[in-house]
Amino acid sequence: MKSIRLIKPYFFEKRFLIFFGLVCLIVVDFLQLFIPRIIKWAVDDITAFRVDATRLSYYALYIVGIAVLIALFRYGWRRCLIGTSRRVEEGLRNRLFAHIQTLSPSFFDKVKTGDIMAHATNDIQHIRMATGMGMVALTDSIVLGSAAIGFMAYINIRLTLFVLIPMPMIIFGTRFFSKKMHRLYQEVQGTFSDLTEVTRERFAGIRIIKAYNREKDERIRLEKISKDYINSNLRLVRITGSFFPMMLLFSNISLAIVLYLGGRQTIGLTITPGDFVAFISYLGLLTWPMMAMGWVTNLLQRGRASLDRIDKILQIKPEIDDCSGAEHVKLVYGDIVFENVTFSYGHDKEPVLAGIDIKLDKGKVLGIVGAPGTGKTTFANLIPRLFDVTGGRITLDEKDIRNILLKDLRAQISFMPQEPFLFAGTIRENILFGNKEADEKELVKAVKEASLYSTIKSFSDGFETIIGEKGVVLSGGQKQRIALARALLRDSPILILDDPVSQVDMETGSAIINTIKSLAGIKTVIIVSHRLSAVQFADQIIVLDSGRIIESGTHEELMKNDRYYAKTFRLQEIEEELNAY
Amino acid sequence: MRTDFGYFEEKQLGKPYDIKMLRRLYPFTRPYRLFFILSIFLVIIITFLDLSLPYITKIAIDRYIVPKLESDNFKDVRGREDKVRFLEADITDPEIKAIVNKYSDQFKISGSFALISFDDLSGLDKEDLSILRKDDLAGVSLITAIFIGLILLNFVLNFLQVMLMEYTGQKIMHDLRVRLFAHIQDLSVAFFSRNPVGRLVTRVTNDTQNMHELFTSVISFVFKDIFLLFGIMFVLITINWKLALISFVVFPFVLYASLYFSSRARDVFRVLRIKVAEINTKFSETIAGIKVVQLFLREKDNYRDFARLNHENYQAGMKQVQIFAIFMPVVELLGTVTIAVVIFHGGGQALAGSISLGALVAFISYMKMFFRPIRDMAEKYNIMQNAMASAERIFLIFDNKDRLPQPRVERGYKLPAIDNIDEIEMEDVSFSYIPDEPVLNRISFKIIAGETIAVVGRTGSGKTTLINLIIRFYDPTSGRILINEKDIKNYEKSILRSKIALVMQDPFLFSGTIRENIGQGNSNISEKEMEYILEASNCNGFINRLPDGIDTVVSEGGASISSGERQLISIARAFARNPGLIILDEATSYIDSETEQKIQEAVSNLMKSRASIIIAHRLTTARNADRIIVINKGRIIETGTHVELMTQRGFYFKLNQLQG
């Protein structure tokens, strides 16, 4: 129960509300118990003809008065207690979100997005249920249950004891059944996801199904899995379907006991007819707390399990974080040095980069080329510390980048990732993402530099064009240029571009390259590219193969070298010619 | 919990859905009419049982526990003139007579009965009292026995009814699901490219599940709760119509309150679902774009956006809390007020003798029963809305008839069969997915059995589209495709496809064993044939290395089988079909050149007297074909053998140089 501390702050924040809510709840419980008392008095008086119309109207007014009070207090506890659970939900979810944002990319490589989503929704909902209805039901069953028993015992202890016989059965029955239900429910969920998977696979492979005339067989396959699904549903229903009638049966058995023993006692004048009627009313009040007892334990257990799961995530420390004594850096000059850098994605994995030594002075341009999977993107990712080097070190202005505050380090870098990630929102929002303070002039300038201005102007909504989730309405090249404009809008001494022209046509590509050229001398630029014309002008070009630098030099030097670079360059020349075909 | 399926497209959930949808559901329920009738019959019995329990208590009180005979005709022994409740004792019974004689001063004899004031009973000895009231005691036992019998019966019937209802509902959903699946499966490939797989899956799984809720929750509501409500009203009227009518005064208020609150609750419920969907989107978007968020130091802003969304969700949640915090107590209040009315008015009547004490108690019990179903109304209404939304989405798909036309079958006329594919001819074929954006432009060529054709061209030049037309995933926009000199539209689709084996660029395998994937339902492949197929497709090498061999299960993310091996399996699948035409659509892209060479040989061996089309990225693959067709931007720009094309020094020549 260590994880309970997660919800403590919210309980503390709302402690007065919770206190007030609990008071209301207890008041409601006791008021509820009074109504059967009044009914008892009325019935006794009527039996004995001891009452007149005025007296009866008093009884009626008492009941109405109590009912009004109950309604008010009930409103009070619902507002306070259930409201608090909503606050817990909000707070926990905020906290989870904030935490998730601090975790390093490597965490997300290991964990499925769906799992995190499940935490954010299902688990937090379970916790809300446990803290809201769970708390209410717990208090309710304890207070209402024991008070109802008390009142009954006050009327007649012997009868009370007999009436209580089926009650333990209700509690244990509920617990037993809800455990079973939980298991069966999971089974249903399991078959449901099988059903989903089979359906998904069929629709994803529809061409093969059609090409191979498999429609009939697949229909039979689905029929089978659908049958499994309904069968597991029916197994669940067998339990739920017998559970509620059985609970009803138990409480009706109590009623039968009252009828038999209470009836005899009334005849024998041990209790009055009013007592008898009141007993029946109390029994009605008692059934719910008894059923709730079983239900509430499950609710709380589930809530606790969920809380533990959330806690587990919150306990994960970001792999990449400020180390102690990390320095505050305002503005760097821009000299980058890789010293014998090695990197691998895990202890037992092959190194992705090995023995990298590079010195890049401020204002110089470094081009990185190589076949897919040779470590180019990894190289770029190491500088803003998306991952940390496994061996060696990277320095910025002669400082190990691990000794610079992460926030400050990243503020020095404009980065354009290979996958241009866009958020749902307008084009303007997506570009301003790079620099919120930028004014309209700077925005237009960055967009023009990214060769995007005329494209945006051609949209009827211009900058306010809403792009769907992940930018589905845009072409690959447009997305790429938005990401580029985003990076260009940030005025930082280091610019890293991971394959900036892969999805744009030749003409746009050369315009973008010209922009980058114009930044040379002002910023330290690193360009990763498959298209060699994009790095042709660089001060230094390195060719990576299996994580090692196999060639290094200027364009002219590498062409003379006549190896991978020169070969690829000539090929791409022919290709470009073909494109014009 | 189970209504939470499918919060995609929640925003569409706005309009109220009508009963028309139910009418369309009717055909699906028809086969189960009997079950429905039986279930409703059970519901009626259960309702009667539910109603009878308070009534039995009433009988117990009135007949045995508190005798109702009361009178002011008699002057009591002590001369009181108040109304007094008397107990009647039958003095023909000698035992009772003895008691009456023992306390003769408290009894008043009237014919064969002795009367004793209820208050005076306490003066009697306990033993004597139980003898005096032995009939009442026996009556209580009898009525308890009946009561227990009824509650047991109620239990059994309730269980049966739930099972029956659930069984019927599940069966109907199963039928609906299978029909829907078959319908979707028969829709054209174009439909699948327009609709994301995820959405279609949701229709078959979540939406049918939502509709199931309609059956179990709503139908049980309509029958059970409404029966119960009317039943209670009926019983109350028969017990005492005046008191009944007076207590009904509260009902309009209850009805108004429920309707008002359920519409409010529905609105809030909808807002909540949208907010939850938005929160989920934000979460998944942040996770997917975590690198960008961190690189641009946008954690704070992003958190602020999220917190705003989350707070909106909180506010909607609080609104829901507020609505229920008013609604629930108000309904309870109205219920208790009704009880007060019953006590006041009914109590007066009981005093006046026009209603018995038992009836009064029964009235109170019935009143409590009455308010339970009303409280659940809001929730059931939501479920119903949800189910109706799903029903609409499902029927929208059923309404989609996007299929390629099948040849019309006239009486006495049989559709042509294909024994062997002798020749395939493309006759001036053009095609466009989107009007005015042609992907293929006036393509004509001919393949005869025994020939191998290679189609070459850059990505996006229209090669795969060409294949899609031959196998009739799409029909040409203009022009004809002929097989054995007949337009392929004249063949039945399944007959046409049974003669063609397609190996696609992306080797799609189903989860199952390798054997199942190769066999594709054709279980009568002999071991020997299979051996040959595996040999020819070069599968033997890696299959022998797998611990379970050919019975290894291929599964999603099962890293044991590489992309190249998947391609080999899909080639084996094509071989197993024994086709008249084999189409390899960049089927060897993940396979090394050496293996590819072997497969090529196998194909030419296997297809000696049959036709084959090979689409290749790697030009070496095309080299051995009888003819090479070069496509660029949807047009055939060159055609000929490798040698011919190389001497032409055109596009093909340049492509060859490129790959050098």
pLDDT exceeds cutoff 60 at A303: yes
pLDDT exceeds cutoff 80 at A565: yes
Sheet holding A365-370, edge to edge: A413-416, A494-498, A524-528, A365-370, A540-545, A548-553
Spatial CA neighbour of A212 closest among B487, B521, B186, B532 = B521
Q: What residues contact B518, with CB distance under 8 A and at least 6 apart? A: B525, B530, B533, B550, B569, B572, B573, B576
Helix (H, G, I), strand (E, B) or coil at A278: helix
Q: In angstroms, what CA-CA distances link B535 with B532, B603, B610?
A: 5, 12, 20
What is the phi-psi region of residue A549: left when phi exceeds 0, alpha when psi lies from -120 to 50, beta otherwise?
Answer: beta
Q: Which chain B residues have a beta carbon less than 8 Å from that of A213?
A: 494, 497-498
A59/B321 CB distance under 8 A? no
A241/B166 CB distance under 8 A? yes
Count of CB atoms situated within 10 Å of the CB of A324: 5
pLDDT exceeds cutoff 70 at A428: yes
Q: Which chain B residues have a beta carbon less than 8 Å from that of A250?
A: none
From the centroid of its chain, how far is CA A477?
A: 31
B324/A213 CB distance under 8 A? no
pTM: 0.72
Q: How far is A151 from chain B (nearest CA, A)?
A: 19
Spatial CA neighbour of B603 closest among B563, B572, B640 = B572
Q: How far is A223 from chain B (nearest CA, A)?
A: 6
Pairwise pLDDT comparison (A476 vs B523), residue with the higher score: A476
Q: Tell me if B570 sits within 8 A of B503, measured CB to CB.
A: yes
Q: In angstroms, what CA-CA distances link B493 with A118, B186, B296, B411, B429?
A: 44, 11, 55, 19, 19
Chain A residue with CA closest to B343: the answer is A60
Option in B159, B163, B204 nearest A199 (CB): B204
pLDDT exceeds cutoff 70 at B378: no
Pairwise pLDDT comparison (A400 vs B621), residue with the higher score: A400
Q: Tell me if A203 sits within 8 A of B507, measured CB to CB.
A: no
A226/B520 CB distance under 8 A? no
Q: How far is A68 from chain B (nearest CA, A)?
A: 6
Q: What residues contact B472, with CB distance under 8 A and at least 6 apart? A: B404, B488, B489, B493, B496, B497
Helix (H, G, I), strand (E, B) or coil at A494: strand
Q: Which chain B residues have a beta carbon less than 8 Å from that of A253?
A: 148, 151
A365 burial type by CB count under 10 A (0-12 exposed, 13-18 middle, 19+ buried):
buried
Option in A71, A384, A413 nearest B332 (CB): A71
pLDDT of residue B70: 53
Q: Tell me if A310 sits within 8 A of A119, measured CB to CB.
A: yes
A433/B296 CB distance under 8 A? yes
Option in A60, A196, A214 nearest B205 (CB): A196
In tens, the pLDDT along A195-247 reads 888 888 888 888 888 888 888 888 998 999 999 999 998 998 888 888 878 88
How far apart are the C-alpha atoms of B394 and B388, rounded to whole Å?
10
Q: Which amino acid is at B368?
A: K
Q: Which chain B residues have a beta carbon less than 8 Å from that of A199?
A: 181, 200-201, 204-205
Instruction: Tell whether the torsion through CA atoms of A24, A27, A31 and A33 is positive or negative.
Output: positive
Q: How far is A79 from chain B (nearest CA, A)?
A: 6
Chain B residue with CA closest to A103: the answer is B290
How far apart are the C-alpha atoms of B532 and B123, rounded to whole Å?
106
Helix (H, G, I), strand (E, B) or coil at A353: strand
Q: What residues contact A479, with CB distance under 8 A and at least 6 apart? A: A420, A422, A471, A503
- Size of the A and B interface in Cβ pairs below 8 Å: 378
Option in B140, B177, B285 nearest A424 (CB): B285
In tens, the pLDDT along A60-116 reads 899 999 999 999 999 999 899 999 999 999 999 999 999 988 888 888 877 767 677
Q: Which chain B residues have a beta carbon less than 8 Å from that of A264?
A: 137, 140
First and final CA of chain A: distance in angstroms?
Answer: 71
Do the bridges between strand A494-498 and strand A413-416 make them parallel or antiparallel, or are there none, so unpaired?
A: parallel
Q: How far is A544 from chain B (nearest CA, A)?
A: 21
Chain A residue with CA closest to B324: the answer is A78
Option in B198, B307, B357 nearest A273 (CB): B357
Q: What backbone torsions phi and psi does residue A203 show, to the nearest 5 degrees?
A: -75, -35
How far apart are the C-alpha atoms of B205 and B299, rounded to whole Å?
37
Q: What backbone torsions phi and psi does residue B639 show, to the nearest 5 degrees?
A: -150, 145
Q: DSSP code of B1?
A: -
Beta bridge partners of B431: B440
Count of CB atoms situated within 10 Å of the CB of B626: 14
Interface with chain A: mutation pick from B283, B334, B397, B556, highest number of A CBs within 10 Å = B283
In tens, the pLDDT along B108-128 reads 777 777 778 777 777 778 788
Q: DSSP code of A52?
A: -
What stretches of B60-207 show up as alpha helix (H) in DSSP? 94-102, 126-132, 134-186, 189-194, 197-202
Query: Mean pLDDT throughout B563-580?
Result: 84
B283/A436 CB distance under 8 A? no
Spatial CA neighbour of A60 closest among B83, B249, B237, B346 = B346
Domains of chain B: 2-63+139-399 (1.20.1560.10), 423-659 (3.40.50.300)
What stretches of A316-459 show up as alpha helix (H) in DSSP? 376-382, 406-411, 427-432, 440-449, 453-458
pLDDT exceeds cutoff 50 at A260: yes
In tens, the pLDDT along B543-561 reads 888 888 888 887 654 445 7
Q: How far is A487 from chain B (nearest CA, A)?
A: 9
Q: In angstroms, what CA-CA distances link A64 with A42, A50, B581?
A: 14, 22, 86
Beta bridge partners of B502: B583
Question: Lowest-confidence range among B172-176, B394-398, B511-515?
Answer: B511-515
pLDDT of residue A356: 92
Instruction: Tell whether the torsion through CA atoms of B477, B480, B483 and B487 is positive or negative.
Output: positive
Q: Which chain B residues have a beta carbon less than 8 Å from that of A495?
A: none
What is the phi-psi region of residue A517: left when phi exceeds 0, alpha when psi lies from -120 to 50, beta otherwise?
Answer: alpha
pLDDT band at B98 (very low <50, low <70, confident <90, very high): confident
From the centroid of its chain, how far is CA A9?
A: 21
Count of CB atoms situated within 10 Å of the CB of A144: 23
B521/A214 CB distance under 8 A? yes
Tokens representing residue B557 in the block: 């993310």
Q: What percent of chain A has pLDDT over 70?
A: 97
Q: Which chain B residues have a beta carbon less than 8 Å from that of A83?
A: 318, 321
Q: Tell me if A531 sits within 8 A of A543, measured CB to CB.
A: no
